[in-house]
């Protein structure tokens, strides 16, 4: 299997709030430490990438964020303008066509067009070359929207390839789709928490990726793993008797122990299910400190490097 660091497009997705942005930035730090030129892309207007990188907010133009790491905010308007200008070979013609309010209203109603403009721009940067030749970036990371929207976004190039008549739009979508499906060049990084609902949703997401979209999974990242305090035997015995005399001395401590045992049991069951998927995997600890601090990101980056 092609190592993660050799791929040029990584799509980071997962349920809302599981740590996609944190993982994207930790991954960027890890790849940059290997000497890769990384571009982080986000289509979230309220992006947290810049907070984690300690830089001003991302902009629709590519900007350097740190050594080896650049960033860009993908907005539908800017992405469509750039794409339209490239396709029409002129910003002036683009302006004449696209700045017309009826044309804009028309495009706003075309399903998937804005999604493709943003994903297509991110993909374009993964094949972009310097005017003097040679690739501009080694790898593009896409901090994708949460599962449902992330999948919808990935479906767009597939649909374009299937239904749009031959032309410029389909040609680019075909190139992107071929690259996204190639495990040597691309991969989806699926982020999850070791909890019941996120695990169910992750298994559904992985199923859609393999059966419907046929996209390679580059990593399953299990984020927020707690260090068990109890052995399996201790956990079982704590959970076997849930009747607690609340007035008895020490009952508060026992209640806390039971709550922790329940949490560890849920994590244990989720990890068993996730590990059984036999995907290349990284497990990141739940940090006690603020995960948005650079030292915390650096710690998570070392865990990403230790993939099983
Ligand atoms: N391993 C970790 N240990 C402790 N806190 C973490 C860890 N990973 C992420 N967090 C915290 O969890 C919160 C959510 O993380 P993040 O913003 O990366 O999630 P997200 O999946 O990108 O969310 P959204 O779906 O809203 O974009 C943040 O406060 C982040 O600092
Ligand atoms: Mg996020």
pLDDT digits (tens, 9 = 90+) for 78-109: 888 887 776 666 666 666 666 667 666 666 66
Mutate to test the pocket of ligand 1, among 11, 12, 13, 17 (most ligand atoms within 8 A of CB): 17
Whole-prediction pTM: 0.92
Domain boundaries, the chain: 4-226+278-305
Question: Is the CB of 296 within 6 Å of ligand 1?
Answer: no
pLDDT digits (tens, 9 = 90+) for 203-237: 999 999 999 999 999 999 999 999 999 999 999 88
For the cut 90, the answer to whether the pLDDT of residue 38 exceeds it is yes
- The residue-averaged pLDDT of 249-253 equals 77
- The long-range contacts involving 232-237, CB below 8 angstroms and separated by at least 24 positions, are 232/268, 234/261, 235/261, 235/264, 235/265, 235/268
Question: Is the CB of 284 within 6 Å of ligand 1?
Answer: yes
- The residue-averaged pLDDT of 114-128 equals 91
Give the position of tokens 């603020």.
290
For the cut 90, the answer to whether the pLDDT of residue 164 exceeds it is no
To the nearest whole percent, how much of the chain has pLDDT over 70? 90
Rounded to whole angstroms, the Cα distance separating 198 from 297 reads 22
Q: Torsion angle, CA of 94/99/102/104, rounded to 10 degrees?
A: 80
Provide the H-helix boundaries in the chain.
20-33, 49-53, 76-88, 91-98, 101-108, 113-127, 147-163, 168-181, 196-207, 232-240, 251-275, 294-305
Question: Is the CB of 126 within 6 Å of ligand 1?
Answer: no
Please provide the average confidence, as pLDDT, over all residues in the chain.
Answer: 90
Fold of 4-226+278-305: Rossmann fold (3.40.50)
């Amino acid at each position: 299997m092609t190592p993660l660091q050799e791929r040029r497009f990584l799509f980071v997705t997962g349920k809302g709030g599981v740590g996609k942005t944190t993982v994207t930035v930790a991954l960027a730090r890890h790849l940059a430490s290997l000497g890769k030129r990384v571009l982080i892309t986000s289509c979230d207007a309220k992006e947290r990438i810049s907070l984690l990188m300690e830089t001003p907010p991302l902009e629709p133009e590519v900007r350097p964020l740190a050594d080896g790491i650049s960033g860009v905010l993908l907005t539908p308007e800017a992405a469509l303008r750039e794409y339209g200008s490239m396709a029409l070979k002129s910003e002036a013609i683009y302006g004449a066509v696209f700045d017309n309010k009826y044309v804009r209203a028309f495009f706003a109603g075309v399903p998937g067009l804005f999604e493709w403009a943003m994903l297509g721009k991110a993909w374009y940067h993964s094949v972009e070359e310097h005017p003097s030749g040679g690739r501009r970036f080694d790898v593009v990371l896409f901090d994708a929207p949460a599962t449902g929207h992330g999948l919808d976004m990935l479906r767009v190039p597939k649909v374009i390839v299937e239904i749009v008549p031959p032309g410029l739009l389909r040609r680019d979508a075909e190139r992107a789709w071929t690259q996204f499906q190639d495990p040597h060049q691309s991969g989806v990084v699926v982020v999850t928490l070791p909890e019941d609902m996120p695990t169910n949703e992750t298994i559904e997401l992985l199923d859609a990726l393999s059966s419907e979209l046929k996209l390679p999974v580059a990593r399953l990242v299990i984020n927020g793993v707690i260090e068990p305090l109890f052995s399996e035997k201790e956990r079982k015995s704590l959970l076997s008797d849930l009747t607690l005399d609340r007035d008895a001395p020490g009952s508060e401590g026992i209640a806390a122990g039971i709550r922790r045992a329940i949490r560890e049991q849920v994590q244990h069951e989720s990890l068993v299910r996730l590990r059984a998927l036999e995907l290349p995997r990284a497990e990141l600890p739940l940090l006690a400190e603020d995960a948005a601090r650079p030292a915390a990101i650096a710690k998570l980056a070392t865990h990403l490097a230790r993939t099983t």
